[in-house]
Structures are given as C-alpha cells and as structure tokens.
Amino acid sequence: MTNRALNFHSLKTLTAKEALFFFDEVLQLKDSFKKYRTFLKYYKPGQEKLVSLIFLESSTRTRFSFETAIARLGHKSISFSSKEGTSLDKGETLVDTLETLLAMQPDAFVIRYGLSKKLDDHLAQVTVPWVNAGSGVEAHPTQALLDAFTIYEKYKSFENIKLVFVGDVMHSRVAMSNLQLLSQLGVELAVCGPRALLPQSEAWKEVKAFERLTEALSWADVCMGLRIQKERHEPQTMSFLEEYKSDYCLNNQNLKSLKSDGLVLHPGPFVPFEDLDPEVLTDARCKVRAQVENGVYVRAVILANLLGMERAQ
C-alpha cells in the first residue's frame, strides 16, 4: 500500500486495488494470529511506541479494539475517554486539549469526536500520524474497512454483491464510510427505512431505496442493520420509533427473506428489539461478533503501517 493510502482520516480516496491489498494483509495477520496467538510472528517486534487514544464520544468496540491491537503489537497506549474528569470540564477547548496531549509526544493518535469544524480544520494541519475512529456523521473509516473485510472473508470477492443498509442511514457515519468504500469495490447498494431516516444528500442520490423491509432483504446478499442515532436526533422527531420497531427491527422472522448464504452485519452497538432482536445473533448468517474480532486485525494492520513496523515473514 502506498503512503498516500495510509491516511486513515477518511476513505474518500482509497482505491479498490489499495483496499484489496489491505484486506490481504489483514487476512494474513489473522491467519498468523490464529496459529501463534501473537501479532509478533507476522510483524517484527520493534522499538516500543506510544499511541494516544482520544475518545471525545462514547465507544466500546472501537476504543478497546485499538487498545487490544496496540498491546498485541507490543506498543503502549494512553487513553482519554470522556470529558468528565478532564480540563474540558473547566472550559479548555477541544483544540487546546488535543495540542496538550500532542505536546506529550505520542508517536501516533487515534481520535473520535463529534461535529466540530474547528477541530476538523485543526486536524488537517497536524503532522503526527492519526487515525479517525469516528467523526460526527461524516466518517468511520476503520469500521467500514472491517465491515468490508468481513464481507470479503465470506465471499472472497465483491463481484455481484448487493448490500442494503437498514435504519438510520441519514445519521450514520458508518454508512457514509461504507458508501465510499463499497462503491469503489463495486458493491451494489440500497437503503431501507422510514423516509425520515433515509439520506437526502447528493452522495446517496444514485442509491436504490426500499420502504418495505422484506423486499429489501429479498433483494440483498448482505444486510447491515444500523442503530437509531438518538443522540443526533431532536427528541420531538422521534415519533416514528414504535412503528420503526415493528417494521424495521431485524429478527428471525423477517430475515427469512434474506438468502440462505446471505450475511447479517451490524456495526454495533445495537439496541435490543429496536434495531436488532438478539435472537438474530444465533443465526449462522449473522457476523456481528466476527465484525468485532475483525476490528482488531484491521486496526492492527493500520497501526502497524502507521508506526512503520516491518513484516516478519
């Protein structure tokens, strides 16, 4: 992969060739880990590096998978995981907080943040290597990479694959990064949900839309459920919620419409009986836990490249 593609701020410019090259490296790292239970058979152990994890929004899987990947690569991380208990509480700005953490000379950092034009502009000037762990409603590149890798693991190719996003596509940074990546890879995309949750922006103009869930599931090979991003909605616009649960929550009954060799994905977290009935986790087509596992390998490959680790084999 070229250095240009190692900018994991967004996937806007990642080509299909670069993505496939990346997935091949992830696959090799995963195979090696399954055999040896370490990443240090695949990458040469090197000088210990320090990575700062700056999470200005809540996270379980993204934050802990980065931490796991860093530890398994033989490096150290320090973590900033909420506003509470930090000087953000005293009125320090996000930009000053970032610069304070960078003054401690980490070798790289990983950042999750909400909508902030000032922080966006500032990050564009930062010279320390960094990875976007989710920004506003715009991008979640490492999630899209692990989603696409999970599809690739099953089908070995993206040819003739159709994927439908179900739910709050409008507020989903996961869907936005997947749109950028999966379109490059030739996946045919669709969205399904009540009109209030479907995206209206130019980026989605060419994407097919379904209102009926069973129709969408019959069309698709891969179904990706999405959580309703309540934190990004005005409470008064949530009147659709009860109807949503009965019409769009993925369950074993409506998933009968999906192909027997289809895939059910969800980036998580899911809200039981709202966007996903937990019974779906027992469906062999459901790879929600595999996505979490793959997140560690995907993020390890990104960090190993970012930190200049050499391959051992």
Give the interface with ligand CP as residue ranges (CB under 6 A). 59-62, 134, 143, 267-269
Q: Please, what is the minimum distance in Å from the beta carbon of residue 298 to ligand CP?
A: 12
CB-nearer residue toward ligand CP: 73 or 174? 174
Length of the chain: 313
CB-nearer residue toward ligand CP: 62 or 132? 62
Q: Please, what is the minimum distance in Å from the beta carbon of residue 169 to ligand CP?
A: 15
CB-nearer residue toward ligand CP: 32 or 180? 180
Q: Please, what is the minimum distance in Å from the beta carbon of residue 287 to ligand CP?
A: 14
CB-nearer residue toward ligand CP: 60 or 100? 60
Residue 150: how many CB atoms within 10 A of its CB? Answer: 21
Closest residue to ligand CP using C-beta atoms = 62
Q: Label residues 42-68 b or e (16+ Cβ within 10 Å = b).
A: bbeeeeebbbbbbbbbebebbbebbbb
Q: Please, what is the minimum distance in Å from the beta carbon of residue 292 to ligand CP?
A: 9
CB-based contacts of 66: which residues, under 8 Å, 6+ apart?
51, 53, 77, 110, 131, 133, 299, 303
Give the residue from 99, 102, 30 showing the smallest Cα distance to 291: 30
Q: Are 269 and 58 a contacting pair, CB within 8 Å?
A: no
Q: Please, what is the minimum distance in Å from the beta carbon of residue 288 to ligand CP?
A: 10
CB-nearer residue toward ligand CP: 271 or 312? 271
Dig out the tokens for 284 from the structure.
Answer: 């062999």
